[in-house]
Chain A
Amino acid sequence: MLLSTRASRALIETYDLSKDFDDLVAVDGVSLRVQSGEILALLGPNGAGKTTTIRMLASILRPSRGRATVAGYDVLDQADDVHRCIGLLTEHHGLYTRMRAREYLSFFGRVHALPEDYLKNQIDTLLQSYGLSAHADRRLGEYSRGMRQKLVLVRSLLHDPPVLLLDEPTSAMDPASARMVRQRIVELRSSKRAVVVCTHNLHEAEELADRIAIIREGRIVALGSPSELKNNLLGDAIMELRMACRVDGMMDHLPAEVRVVEVGEDWLRYRAADPETDNPLVLQQLMAAGFPVVTLTEVGRDLEEVYLRVVGEEMQSQEAGDG
């Protein structure tokens, strides 16, 4: 049984969480567990079910099947408690543009029943920390997109929630603003907090998340840390060896455990099931045979490859099923 009691350190737990809209299955049997101190990225194309999952975790949408608890509270039966424990950053910031930043934050702070002195202090601290103090009394309609996104992040942090649900936090932002927001999100990692980030930005997911759940057509099709996903889906690490000589005749001196996958004039690539053991052995044997090694580096494999493989395989299997 995945669901546990409030005493568990898992701040988010879902079991077979599903959501139907009439005939459409938007989320289909999502089971997750996010520990405190962890950032989980929900990665998937548009319409994959990320926002619906976030909305169910935020107790805005009712699950059609399955269960979920957030900070120990059931999303279906204890929605008010869930609302008190989450900070939600929505994909569209939806600010009240005629309000000033301080007013806006005060409104949300009061809605969370924060004491006035605590709220004032919290607003000042967060505005200062996000570089918005000088703009605290400007109308939100005058804010740039980056400032708005920062303000929304401040809004979601006002009541210091143990669970942060961030839906596309950097969508449509310029690179500098997006980078700044990502840095802020990393800084939000805390032993008392769990963060779920919804994104279709692969680099963002890799940069932010401890674990990534790739979601497609409502189902989680891959789950793990970025390196686990790469290893599991792309196979063993690929190492590149660059020599100061031609590589002809070098193969016989490589350990039997390594498998050569590509060869050039003065370089070769091999797969290492256990790089920590295999690489020293490779170097040791080549140098003993008198081959001059210039560099030994791991060939970069990005998440995009993983993502395309997972999503591509899914699409192919679905097309085969349809056919």
Chain B
Amino acid sequence: MAESVRRSLSPAAGALIVARRELRDQMRDWRILAPIAILTIFFPILMNFTAHQAVDFVNRYGAPLIAERLIPFLLMVVGFFPISVSLVVALESFAGERERLSLEPLLATPLSDAQLYIGKMLASLTLPLLGAYMGIFVYLLGLALRIQWYPPLQLLLQILLLTTAQAVVMVSAAVVISSQATSVRAANLLASFVILPVAQLIIGESLIMFWGRYNVLWWIVLGMVLVALVLGRMGMKLFNREELLGREIDVLNLRWAWRFFWKHFTGEARTLRSWYNGLLLQTLPRIRGGVACMALSMLAGWALGWHLSGEYTLPAEALQLDRLQDGMLEDMLGFGMLSGRGWIWVLGTNLRALLLTALLGVFSVGVIATILLTVPIGIIGYSAGNIMLAGQNVGLFLTALVLPHAVLEIPASLLAGGSILHLGATLISPPKNKSLGESWLQALAEWARINFGLVVPLLAAAAALEVFLTPVIALRLLTGG
């Protein structure tokens, strides 16, 4: 072909070509069309009938409020059911093509990763969303004709946006799963990572709707849009032609994984000194973004705690620092302060918290870890705010009870949070030249280096300060003893 005939597609055109082909394929598959048709036409009519019966029933017993709340709830349900089909279509998108062996010719075309990815997403969304909108229309038409119920414009808008956002989130997550699974079966097994959170969300939305706090739905819409954006970015970053054709994505090669992890954990250092050199000069700078986010979160936590002390103020008489001298030493000794037992207890508690934070952080791309590590700072901010409102010396409070060990605990928290955020960010945005498994294992090794090399020693030292130094300073400053 002449060079002049060889052209490039615009990004949108490429995605639309892919989407159009997929849609045409779906339109020929009765297994996709039948459930959408049923959920679009018959299900809304059934819901309509249910709503009508329920309204009659509750009105008979003088509880119109239930009907008032049930009708919008069913409106949400009618919109949600057809979009559940999008999950099936999306899970099949890449894994199905791989299984039918039609993926390789597609990957060898000039379509970019973004065009393929967005095309598949559009194709997965279009039919179920149209079905959902149609279902909502049928349901509302029935209500208008039978009981002359018309939805408030805001509610209708919320339900439409919620339905769309939920579909986008489900499809984004399902396409991510599909692009990482080697078979439709594997994709379906992994779908619980989508189904369970969405089921929880629907339960939450139902409670909110029965509670009648419709304004909260806006926050859910906003949250869903943010999650959709994160998942979309994650999907685009994870999309990897090589892994799509890879043979071992679903195979857990523990020996290789361990070797890879160990290599990055040790950094191929021969001595402890060179290991620490690598840790400080190479690993530490790599998590600086995570540490910065963690620091911002802690500052925000402090500010929020301080702010909340103004709204939920503790009684001033409970916060008299000068009264702490009564039995303070006995209380401290009772807690195990100034003893080795107390040190083990404090360190053990902190290590358990660190482990729990890491585990929850892994499953929430670092978000829950950040929140958990921020909460203590928020509590200190809240306490400090109350101390100030009680007319006490905030500086004295912090110097006597917090700072002696916080000097080490706060850096430990920053590093722990920063490393887990770095691990989470690797999932959302892995480097292009590595597979997801390699990137994640490397980030896990870096997390382990930071935590074993710095966080645990810092926590051990902080626990020692908390048990042996803080009580002494507290006694001296607060009681003069």
Contacts and interface: CB of A to CB of B under 8 A. Distances in A.
- Nearest 4 pairs of A and B residues by beta carbon: A160-B1, A94-B102, A94-B101, A92-B101
Interface string B10-41: 00001001100100110011000000000000
6 contacts: A62-B242, A94-B102, A96-B102, A110-B17, A111-B17, A114-B5
B154 interface: no
A60 B107 contact: yes
Interface in A67-109: 80, 83-84, 86, 88, 90, 92-96, 98-99, 103, 107-108
Contacts of A160: 1
Contact of A90 (B8, B17, B101, B110): B101
A58 interface: yes
A218 B97 CA distance: 27
Contact of B8 (A94, A99, A113): A113
B364 interface: no
Interface in A161-201: 161
Given A90-B104, A92-B101, A118-B5, A99 B25 contact: yes
A22 B256 contact: yes
B11 to A, nearest CB: 12
A115 interface: yes
B25 A84 contact: no
A55 interface: yes
A84 B9 CA distance: 11
Given A58-B108, A62-B433, 9 more contacts: A80-B112, A83-B111, A90-B105, A94-B97, A96-B21, A96-B25, A113-B110, A114-B1, A159-B1
Nearest to B6: A84
Given A21-B247, A61-B242, A103-B24, A113 B109 contact: no
Contacts, number: 93
Interface string B81-119: 000000000000000010011111101111110000000
A166 B27 CA distance: 32
A112 interface: yes
Nearest to B435: A22
Interface in A15-70: 21-23, 55, 58-62
A222 to B, nearest CB: 27
A269 interface: no
Nearest to B437: A22
A60 B108 CA distance: 6
B213 interface: no
Nearest to A76: B433
A260 B253 CA distance: 58
Given A80-B112, A111-B17, A99 B24 contact: yes
* Chain A interface, >50% SS class: loop
A21 B246 contact: yes
Nearest to B260: A22
A155 interface: yes
Contact of B256 (A23, A83, A96): A23
A55 B245 CA distance: 10
B16 to A, nearest CB: 10
B263 interface: no
B476 interface: no
Nearest to A110: B17
Contact of A21 (B1, B8, B111, B248): B248
A110 B179 CA distance: 24
Interface residues of B, number: 36
Contact of A60 (B29, B111, B245, B248): B245
A298 B137 CA distance: 84
B109 A108 contact: yes
B110 A111 contact: yes
Nearest to A108: B109
Contacts of B242: 60-62
Nearest to A79: B241
Contacts of A107: 17, 21
Nearest to B103: A94
A111 to B, nearest CB: 5
B110 A112 contact: yes
B7 interface: yes
B5 A115 contact: yes
Contacts of B103: 94
A84 B301 CA distance: 53
Contacts of B245: 55, 60-61
Contacts of B102: 94-96
A159 B100 CA distance: 24
A113 B241 contact: no
A72 B253 CA distance: 37
Nearest to B2: A160
Contacts of A84: 6, 110
A276 to B, nearest CB: 43
Contacts of B21: 96, 99, 107
A289 to B, nearest CB: 64
Contacts of A115: 5, 7
Contacts of A112: 6, 109-110
B24 A94 contact: no
B6 A113 contact: yes
A1 to B, nearest CB: 25
B256 to A, nearest CB: 5
Contacts of B247: 21
B26 to A, nearest CB: 9
Given A23-B256, A95-B102, A88 B29 contact: no
A97 to B, nearest CB: 8
B454 to A, nearest CB: 31
Contacts of A22: 248, 253, 256
A102 to B, nearest CB: 13
Nearest to B10: A113
Contacts of B9: 110-111, 113
A21 B435 CA distance: 11
A22 B248 CA distance: 9
A93 B106 CA distance: 11
Interface string A136-156: 000000000000000010010
A156 to B, nearest CB: 8
Given A83-B109, A111-B110, A113-B110, A98 B25 contact: yes
Nearest to A58: B108
Nearest to B108: A88
